[in-house]
Chains A and B, each alone.
Chain A
């Protein structure tokens, strides 16, 4: 057999060895390294290459741009830091561990006040570690409840469910259509279990934390996870093995194929559905078991690494990205949602985005501001699915997550 991509750690070390190179730092760097996650093949690379060119033209500083796919970005960034070759600007879905390790500039040091004041308050808060903004919001998204209109009509369901009881009832009716139709596609596999779980947890009044304390194994959360396990094993209205189904190639794929009545989606899924034109879908708010519906907002970050003499160069680059014309052009192309007030005003014109933009003010974020979250998230991804498999034990799984989260808090 060929040995492609094997022993990734070793390979990474070898790579780092050859990649190492010096940089003169008298009066600012000759180049800055910018690492961006690849949101889509079509838009991410082209946009950032264009931005880099524009930046080099006006500042004479070169940009070493690396667009990295999500599967390997954690590994690549870790390798850079291990080898003392951090990027100057990094785009990622977490930031607080980097802030905790003292690697980052505070946002005020690398953003002009005008840029700083344009952020939507919730997203600025979501990038704050111990009272200081480090994780600069780059884009956001919000989940919404997707349903297949044709299947709803066939099952005689008139409106998307508002409560959990209605949800279960609708799911059963959809499943009863037979012919392989699935009521609800529930992805609790390792890809993004924490996202699906957050939505259900919040819509039952539970939460990750209460103040400074983790509350993962609260009675409410046990009730929620038991409810999800029941969907799979008692009501049998989900796809096979929901604890072992990922989102992108699992739940979304089934929904796009018209096999599924309901799924938690987001705006990029809507774009794909529109492009394929196979499924007539509606978008609604989340069904809730207590009070008003809550959705999950996701915020990704840009952060600036402290390196000798790079501050002005980095500042110039960030301010260029946050020029309303630039940031909004890219976010719109990728199908995500704005993080700035000016962007929100501009994008409100797009009727298709209305359900998500409406949901944005009520969206909750996962606790990315806590460095322990970076471990809790991975722990949830690797264990939560086991609770909804036949014979799974929701309380034990949550107890264990709670214990590990509390330990991670006090840990390194």
Chain B
């Protein structure tokens, strides 16, 4: 099973990255590492890499911060809690493509409710083309990325919070610790395993996220707002390159980058743990 689902495609991808393909997809022979050399020479690559870093770091960072707050909130007893907990699952349950299309309409310059709302509230004095203006596209995509990442992250953290035994808090209160002090010295350290899982998985999910960036950015020519995932797709099918071999080379790089990012993160965290 693992062999069929993971190993075979990985080998196929690696092999494709060493080959030359015609625009039709016809295999024309092996070219060694030439696709990798050409990949590094692509003019758009530095901007795409920078976009990817901004996209992953911001979405994961903001998601974690908001989820910490949300999880804390949902861990408390209050009327209607079950309802709120259910509501939070909705963005998770909806298809990413549908969610992205919905946001395309929300952000629309002429018809979107975002401009409508901000104009009526007097926050803006003229509408903004959220998905067409180079200054706002990335932010608009990040907001959607955070929105769809919140449910999963919040639930992981909520599970973590609820696994902290009540008597630990009891002991801290008896010792006269302030709420902030309790949070920092009790909650955060005990939440560490949940935070680790949430961060590592989010790095992988967000890096690999295709539908949001693809759908919200589909009106913009060029590669100025692409991540390494959408760039790979454009190399293969939607740009003058139309080159499956070159795209496969980037695909291999993408897999390695994801693995490396997670390893580096886990190492950094463990290192700090030992240091403390």
Which A residues form the contact surface with B (CB < 8 A)? 1-10, 13-14, 17, 74-75, 77-82, 97-98, 101, 103, 180, 188-191, 193, 239-241, 243-246, 249-250, 254, 257, 259, 371, 374-376, 378-379, 381-386, 404, 408, 412
**Between A and B, how many residue pairs show CB distances below 8 Å?**
168
Q: Is B85 an interface residue (CB 8 A)?
A: no
Q: Is B242 an interface residue (CB 8 A)?
A: yes
Residues of A within 8 A of B72 (CB): none
Q: Is the CB of A243 within 8 A of B221?
A: yes
Looking across the interface, which residue of chain B has its beta carbon closest to that of A381? Answer: B221
Residues of A within 8 A of B152 (CB): 1
Q: Is the CB of B210 within 8 A of A244?
A: no
Besides A6-B211, A240-B127, A412-B22, 20 more A-B contacts (Cβ < 8 Å) are A4-B95, A5-B97, A7-B254, A9-B232, A17-B9, A74-B238, A78-B236, A97-B24, A101-B22, A103-B26, A190-B219, A190-B238, A239-B109, A241-B133, A245-B219, A250-B219, A254-B110, A257-B111, A375-B23, A376-B240
Say whether, besides A9-B247, A13-B9, A378-B238, A81 and B25 are in contact (CB < 8 Å). Answer: yes
Q: Is the CB of A9 within 8 A of B206?
A: no
Q: Is the CB of A103 within 8 A of B96?
A: no
Give chain A nearest CB distance to B83 CB in angstroms: 23
| Pairs A–B under 8 Å by Cβ, sample size 29 | A1-B145, A2-B95, A3-B208, A4-B97, A5-B97, A9-B248, A10-B9, A13-B9, A78-B236, A80-B25, A81-B26, A82-B25, A97-B22, A103-B24, A190-B220, A191-B219, A193-B221, A240-B109, A243-B221, A244-B129, A254-B110, A259-B110, A375-B23, A375-B240, A381-B238, A382-B238, A384-B221, A386-B222, A404-B240
Interface residues of B in 179-217 (CB under 8 A from A): 202, 205-206, 208-211
Q: Is the CB of B239 within 8 A of A378?
A: yes
Residues of B within 8 A of A75 (CB): 236-237
Looking across the interface, which residue of chain A has its beta carbon closest to that of B98? Answer: A4
Q: Is the CB of B110 within 8 A of A382?
A: no
Residues of A within 8 A of B4 (CB): 17
A259 to B110: give the CA distance in the assembly, Å. 10
Give chain A nearest CB distance to B265 CB in angstroms: 17
Q: Is the CB of B210 within 8 A of A7?
A: yes
B139-174 vs A, Cβ < 8 Å mask (1 yes, 0 no) = 000000100110010000000000000000000000
A74 to B148: give the CA distance in the assembly, Å. 29
Q: Is B121 an interface residue (CB 8 A)?
A: no
Interface residues of B in 7-22 (CB under 8 A from A): 8-9, 12-13, 16, 20-22
Counting from the closest, the 4 A-B pairs by CB-CB distance are A78-B25, A379-B240, A81-B25, A241-B132
Q: Which of A1, A9, A78, A375 has the most CB of B within 10 A?
A: A1
Interface residues of B in 226-257 (CB under 8 A from A): 229, 232-234, 236-242, 244, 247-248, 251, 254
Q: Is the CB of A78 within 8 A of B237?
A: yes
A389 to B188: give the CA distance in the assembly, Å. 49
Q: Is the CB of A244 within 8 A of B219?
A: yes
Q: Is B5 an interface residue (CB 8 A)?
A: yes
Give chain B nearest CB distance to A98 CB in angstroms: 5
Q: Is the CB of B96 within 8 A of A2?
A: yes
Contact among A2, A98, A374 for B242, CB-based, below 8 A = A374
Give chain A nearest CB distance to B206 CB in angstroms: 7
Q: Is the CB of A82 within 8 A of B238?
A: no
Looking across the interface, which residue of chain B has its beta carbon closest to that of A243? Answer: B221
Give chain B nearest CB distance to A100 CB in angstroms: 8
Q: Is the CB of B229 within 8 A of A6?
A: yes
Interface size for chain B: under 10, 10 to 19, 20 to 34, or 35 or more residues?
35 or more
Residues of A within 8 A of B221 (CB): 188-190, 193, 243-244, 381-386
Q: Is the CB of B240 within 8 A of A1?
A: no
A408 to B232: give the CA distance in the assembly, Å. 20
Q: Is B28 an interface residue (CB 8 A)?
A: yes
Residues of B within 8 A of A2 (CB): 92, 95-96
Residues of A within 8 A of B208 (CB): 3, 6-7
Residues of A within 8 A of B202 (CB): 1
A191 to B254: give the CA distance in the assembly, Å. 27
Q: Is the CB of B237 within 8 A of A74?
A: yes
B104-132 vs A, Cβ < 8 Å mask (1 yes, 0 no) = 10000111000000000000000101011
Q: Is the CB of A7 within 8 A of B229?
A: yes
Q: Which of B24, B27, B211 has the most CB of A within 10 A?
A: B24
Looking across the interface, which residue of chain B has its beta carbon closest to that of A73? Answer: B237
Q: Is the CB of B248 within 8 A of A3?
A: no
Residues of A within 8 A of B5 (CB): 14
Interface residues of B in 24-41 (CB under 8 A from A): 24-28
Say whether, besides A97-B24, A98-B24, A189 and B220 are in contact (CB < 8 Å). Answer: yes
A252 to B24: give the CA distance in the assembly, Å. 31
Looking across the interface, which residue of chain A has its beta carbon closest to that of B133? Answer: A241
Contact among B22, B149, B220, B247 for A244, CB-based, below 8 A = B220
Looking across the interface, which residue of chain A has its beta carbon closest to that of B91? Answer: A1
Residues of A within 8 A of B22 (CB): 97, 101, 412
Q: Is the CB of A8 within 8 A of B233?
A: yes
Looking across the interface, which residue of chain B has its beta carbon closest to that of A74? Answer: B237
A190 to B220: give the CA distance in the assembly, Å. 7
Give chain B nearest CB distance to A308 CB in angstroms: 17
